[in-house]
Structures are given as C-alpha cells and as structure tokens.
Amino acid sequence: MEGVWKFFIFASLVTGLFLLGFIYADVHTVKTSVSSTGGPAASTELAQAVNCSYGSAPGGFKTAFSYFIQTDTYAWNLTKSSVTQLATIPAGECIFLPPFEVGAVRMLATRTFRVIINGTIQMKNEGNLPTVGLNIIDTVRVLSGCTTGIFSTIVQRFPVDVSSHPILAPGETWQYPYVLDTNLIPGYNSSCRYRNDARVNVSNHLDCLPGCNVSRPGHAICIGYAVGLGCPGPEPCPWGPLTIRDVTPRGLVVETINENAIISDVGGCAPGFNCTTMATPDDVCLIANTSFAACTFMTQVCNVNASCDSNLTLADYAQLVTVDEEAPLVVTSNTVQSPVYTGVCALGCTLSIGYWKTHAGFTGNNADRVTQYLPLTLGCPPPQYAKGANVTSAVQSTAILTFNALAGGASNGLNKLAAQLLAAKLNVANGAQLAAVTVQMNSADTLLCQYGFNAGSWSSLSGNDRTSINEATAVLDAYNNGQAGVPHCQ
C-alpha cells in the first residue's frame, strides 16, 4: 500500500487558479490573418496593424478528487447434509421428506486496488468572441526517474468530452467533468510519481492571433515567443498559463463482486408426483453481509397419479446464485437422492398389461408382483398343454404380456388375446373379482385351446374366427383398464 500512496496525479484542487496545464492552440489552425473585428484581414500589411483586442480568451481552473478503489471478489462453497431414507407415498397422499441443510461459506478470492481521479475543468471565455475549435486533453506525465527528475515523459492522453457545450460565448462559464482511471495508464507503477495537466486548444485566442505583436500585462503570453513579441504570425500561436499541483489519494471506496447470494432448492420431481420445497425461516434463502450462513429446506412430495408398486428416486440439490452482478456466479451442491415407494396396489381394482409386465422383477425399479399369483393356465387345461400354456414363472409371464409368446408378435391376434387373458387372471387373483369377466375369461381359454399356440394358427384362421378372437380381446382389455364395472387402480 505504501507504493500506492506515493501515487501523485493530476490537477489542481484550488478554485480560482488558471486552467491546469499548457494551454495551446494546435487545431483548426487559421491560415489567414484576422482583422480588428475578428474577420479575415485583406492583406499581410493589414494583419500587422491588429491591436489584439478581439477574439476569445478562455481561462479557468481545475478541481480534482482522488481516491483508492478496493475491489474484493468473493468465491463460495456449498455443503449439503441430508438424511436419505425410503419414503412410502400411497396414491393421493403427501409426505415431507427429511429436511436438509445447506451451508454456504464465502471466501475472499482476490483483492485489487486502483486509483480514480475525477473532477471538473471550469472554463470561462473572457474575450469578446465565441471560442472556435475548443478542445481539452488531460495529459498524464511521469517523472523521468520514476521518483526523481522532471515530468517530461507523456504516458497517456485522456480526451475530455466537450460535446455537451462545444462553444463558449463571450463571458460564458461552463464546467466539463472528467474521470481518470490508473488502470488505463500503460505501464502504471504505483511507486512512481505522476502529474497531469489540462491542455486546452482554441484557434482564436485574442492575444495569440496572427500578427498580434503586443504583449500586455495580465494577458496570456504566446508560448514559444519572448515577452513583447506576441504572435508575429502569420498563423495562430500556442498560448496559456501553467499551474500544476500534485494530488495524493486520500479516500478509499470498497466495491464488491459476488458478495451476496440466494440459495434455492432445484430438485427434480419424479413422474406422477408433485414436489414443493420451502426454505426456513424464509421462503427465500438470502445470504447478505456474512461469510457463513445455513438454510434449511423442507420438501413436500405428493403422489398425484403415480402407479402403485413403483420404486422411484427423487434427485435433489441446492444452487447458489450471487445477486446484483452482471454475470452472476452459480454454485451447485452435490445431488442427494431420495428413494420413493408408492406402496402395494389396493385390492379390488384392475391393472393394465403394462403394469403387470413392468412388475415382474425385471425393470430394476419395481417390485415383482406377478410371481405370487403363479401358476396360471391359459388355453387348454392340463394335460393338454400342446394347445395351452401353464405360466409358472415371471419370465413366461413377461414373454406373454409383451406379445412374444407366439410367432408374429403384436400382429398375431392370438398373442394379444393371451396377454389380455393373463392380465385379467392376475387382476382377479389380486382381488378384482367380476362375474362377467369370469365368463369372458372362460371363452378366451376356449378360443386359445381351439386354435392353439403355434406359428401358423393366426394366418390360417378365417375372417369370422379372427373377428371372434379380436372381440374377446377387446372385452378383456376394457376390464383390465377399468372400463367394465371394476375401477382401475390409481
């Protein structure tokens, strides 16, 4: 920090001093002479008679306020604790999962310093003509030996914006603000000593117009010419008083990046469930002005329409997002998984062939609900298994329920009849009794026993036989889907 405090810059703080810096005229050069009325002279001889009483005469002073800016950039870590346990949620019911706590730790990642100088350059036109070609440049110089020598080396030029008021009328005063940032100075070294002056350009200063050769007490001296010579012409001469004073930074402004944040629960919800997460003590976990904070989240899970006998997993995690930043920092916690079980299906309701084929113990997510009801016979009863099937395992049931027991797959109507018949018998075994469906199951058994389980059966059947089989299949399908007097399980 000691090196930074040695940083001297820019501009006078004293009101009333003339404009800091060399004031000169090197733009919009007038190549013709000017008469006593400010207009072009008719000849060189006439130009020598100019009494230098007409033209603009900008003067003024410069204020400067310098201060350090400390920029602190923060990083965050998240820790998340959660008790994972299997939760059973029957259809239509809701539970709260075990609460989890998120800890947020804020750490200072980087801290940088820079110096800012701002102020105003106040100009007043003390002449009798409006200014022409007004231009202001803040020029930063450094000591030739860093801390010793003379301020000779220009390291940066900062144009001052005069577009808000580019012309000063006679007697008019205007302030032009400026800001200098040391980050923009090439090779800036906080241990060196810097200085800046404001260089003002106009092309019609009354004392330095072409041909003016009288230097009067109290008037500007044209730079580069001896006292008394004025501006012998034929072009305008540079002009200006010179007042420079070092400014040492005194104040400190601290700005922060990623200081405050909001933590939210961004967990997913399994199909068929509705999940609502609440933060305690507030709905929004806002972390402000602290290096550590903990938020507790409660998640309510409701079984809206998830199938019974399903084992699912809820993936849950927390996310921290910083606020009030153009590019927010996002930090995500590790995922916590919570197994959710929907419970055993209720007795007295039907389930589709899709349920039974995914609850035979082969999907990895659902319990085996089929094996407990086996064996079941399809088609001809024993010992006429040549035209029937004795289903004794979950493997057999899955092959039938997926239309793969007979050749032709789903295009074989006997496969569809066998699948719906097996699902119907599983539903009856599960408690979904219906006298009418018992009659239809017997009819389906007769059809399967008649036409058998062989590859050529379906293709060899007449149109009437196929219609009878399809009609029997449709009746069983309606029963299995809760459309034949027994409700479907929710």
Domain locations in the chain as residue ranges: 73-109+258-341, 353-480
* Confidence at residue 152, expressed as pLDDT on a 0 to 100 scale: 73
Helix, strand counts (H, E) of the chain: 8, 20
> Cα separation of 165 and 174, whole Å?
8
* Confidence at residue 31, expressed as pLDDT on a 0 to 100 scale: 22
- CB proximity list for 39: less than 8 A, separation 6 or greater: none
Tens place of pLDDT per residue across the chain (490 aa): 333 333 333 222 222 222 222 222 222 222 222 222 222 222 233 333 345 677 777 777 777 777 888 999 999 999 887 777 778 888 888 988 888 888 899 999 999 888 887 888 888 888 888 988 888 888 778 888 888 888 877 777 888 899 999 999 999 999 999 888 878 777 777 778 877 777 787 777 777 777 776 555 555 566 555 555 667 667 767 655 434 445 556 678 889 999 999 998 887 788 888 888 888 766 668 888 888 888 888 888 898 888 777 788 888 888 999 997 788 999 998 888 888 888 777 788 899 998 898 888 776 667 788 999 999 999 887 766 567 788 999 999 998 998 877 777 888 888 899 999 999 999 999 888 888 888 899 999 998 888 876 556 788 888 898 999 999 999 999 999 988 888 888 6
- Which of 306, 406, 418 lies closest to 353 in space, CA to CA? 418
Structural class in CATH, domain 73-109+258-341: mainly beta
* Confidence at residue 473, expressed as pLDDT on a 0 to 100 scale: 94
Lookup: tokens for 134:
């007004």
- Do the Cβ atoms of 180 and 158 come closer than 8 Å? yes
* Confidence at residue 444, expressed as pLDDT on a 0 to 100 scale: 92
> Cα separation of 66 and 195, whole Å?
12
* Confidence at residue 163, expressed as pLDDT on a 0 to 100 scale: 93
Would you say how long the chain is, in residues?
A: 490
* Confidence at residue 52, expressed as pLDDT on a 0 to 100 scale: 67
> Cα separation of 312 and 272, whole Å?
10
Do β-strands 251-257 and 65-82 pair in parallel, antiparallel, or remain unpaired? parallel
Beta bridge partner(s), residue 315 = 337
> Cα separation of 255 and 146, whole Å?
29
- Do the Cβ atoms of 254 and 72 come closer than 8 Å? yes
> Cα separation of 165 and 176, whole Å?
8
- Which of 54, 415, 436, 19 lies closest to 242 in space, CA to CA? 19
